[in-house]
Amino acid sequence: MSILAAHGGPPTIDVPGPHYQWPTIDADFEQAILAQTRRSLSDRDASGVLGEFEQAFAAFVGAPHVVSFASGTAAIHAMSRIAGLRPGDAVIAPAYTFPATATPFAFEGVEVLFADADEYGNVTADTLAAQLQPNVRAVIVTHMWGNPCDMTAIAAFCRARDLLLLEDCSHAHFASWAGQHVGSLADMAVYSTNQKAITTGEGGILTMNDNRYRELALLFGHYNKRCQVEIDPGADYYPFAYTGMGLKHRMHPLAAAIGVHQLQRASQIEQRRRQILGRVTASLANNPVITTAVVPDRLGRHGLYVIGLRFRPDNATVTRNEFVKLCLAEGATEVDVPGSTRDISAEPLFARPDPHAPYRNVTVSPRNLPGVRRFQDTFVKIPIWGHPDDDELVDGYLAALTKVSAAVAA
């Protein structure tokens, strides 16, 4: 057995970092950016690259209507407002997620109730049902790390109770469940484009089936010229077209140009990333210490954001964090335990019923969320490499994971 690098042996990987960069910066990418600088650096309506990006994204996910925003967080904020949720109402959200899935609701004074997670870190119809109370008006789900939730059951749960179904698809651009693209069963869905599989650098997209939601989304973040052109003059909210709702959250034209460039290559991006995901899954299938945490293809298709790994502590002589440190010593610097994405249910922001109250520390009692704890304590992630010339890194990371696993297997 090879000596671990942490114990004096040679590292498995001797490749200078960074080991993951996205998107691919090539001559075509640079030309797309340069061309947009000559075309426009400030678009006030959808006649230019903003409209082109929105149309391309709508075709990509199969959505009737889309509106672009400066960030995924801004898009979720828009969704929370135009859903008609008010202080006193409640939304059920994942406890295990990135904060922005839920923070805009808290900003608006909406009560956030937190649901437990399954083996993939996702909420289920059952964990949502456990949080029901009379003031619940909506549910928001996140397809964690690219694994789609069981949208068949969740959509049925929401329909039976007349609840709005909202989706955070930020990790799941290429995901589907039971043959339907994620977001398609929701009243509204958000896709972050901040360093995701389809990226704009920074940005977000709100999709919806109802044109009324589209017009309200424009009022939220695209006031004045675009609203006056695109909103039905007969709508009861048309008098607000000039001022909007008081905010501006337009995506920058350079970000939209990046998005158009990426969407033109979506099929190649998907093909490469699925190849890498399949390769890693097959390589670790019989590893007793660490395997991929990926929803089976017979149920849903992965969204191709990152590769989630499940550490099996009962089969190892070290802890999860010690395992990661050993991998880092092998030169596998992108083996990672997420810090920003975690259980957010005890954050003080969600214990402020008055959104205008002073920001003072509040003691929040920990919630009993065994599924979240089980998933969070065993989860590790690595990138899904997207460059055609990343094979050396893929081989190196698989070798490092295999070497460390062999050394620590119980």
| pLDDT value, residue 365 | 85
CATH class, 5-20+266-408 region: alpha beta
| pLDDT value, residue 284 | 98
The domain locations on the chain are: 5-20+266-408, 27-263
- E strand segments, 240-336: 290-292, 300-301, 306-311
| pLDDT value, residue 242 | 98
| pLDDT value, residue 362 | 86
Rounded to the nearest 5°, which phi and psi values hold at 263?
Answer: -65, -30
Listed residue (337, 327, 290, 321) closest to 6, CA to CA? 327
Residue pair 16/342 in contact by the 8 Å Cβ criterion: no
What is the chain's mean pLDDT, rounded?
A: 97
Q: What H or E segment, with its residue span, contains residue 106?
A: helix 103-107
Model confidence over 205-252: pLDDT tens digits?
A: 999 999 999 999 999 999 999 999 999 999 999 999 999 999 999 999
Q: What is the DSSP string of 20-68?
A: ---S---HHHHHHHHHHHHH-S--SSSSSHHHHHHHHHHHHHT-SEEEE
Which residue stretches of 162-252 are H helix?
211-221, 225-230
- E strand segments, 90-214: 90-94, 96-97, 111-115, 136-142, 164-168, 176-177, 180-181, 188-192, 204-208
Confidence of residue 1 (pLDDT cuts 50, 70, 90): low
Percent of the chain with pLDDT over 70: 100
Model confidence over 126-156: pLDDT tens digits?
A: 999 999 999 999 999 999 999 999 999 999 9
- Judging by DSSP bridges, how do beta strands 188-192 and 204-208 pair with one another? antiparallel
Is 116 exposed, middle or buried, given 0-12, 13-18 or 19+ CB atoms closer than 10 A?
Answer: buried
**Averaged pLDDT for residues 293-305:** 96
Q: What H or E segment, with its residue span, contains residue 343?
A: strand 342-343
- 98: its two tokens: 């990135």
**Averaged pLDDT for residues 298-302:** 96
Residue pair 66/284 in contact by the 8 Å Cβ criterion: no
Compute CA 331 distance to the chain's CA centroid, rounded to the nearest angstrom: 27
| pLDDT value, residue 366 | 82
| pLDDT value, residue 388 | 81
pLDDT over 70 at 389, yes or no:
yes
CA distance 55 to 299: 29
Q: Say what the pTM is.
A: 0.96
92 to 5, 165, 377: CA distances (angstroms): 45, 10, 23
CA distance 5 to 91: 48
Is 196 exposed, middle or buried, given 0-12, 13-18 or 19+ CB atoms closer than 10 A?
Answer: buried
pLDDT over 70 at 305, yes or no:
yes
CATH topology of domain 27-263: Aspartate Aminotransferase; domain 2 (3.40.640)
Percent of the chain with pLDDT over 90: 95
Confidence of residue 378 (pLDDT cuts 50, 70, 90): very high
Q: Which amino acid is at 80?
A: S
**Averaged pLDDT for residues 73-95:** 97
Lowest mean pLDDT of 19-23, 25-29, 332-336, 351-355, name the range.
351-355
CA distance 205 to 62: 13
Identical fold, 5-20+266-408 and 27-263: no
Listed residue (403, 410, 396, 383) closest to 312, CA to CA? 410
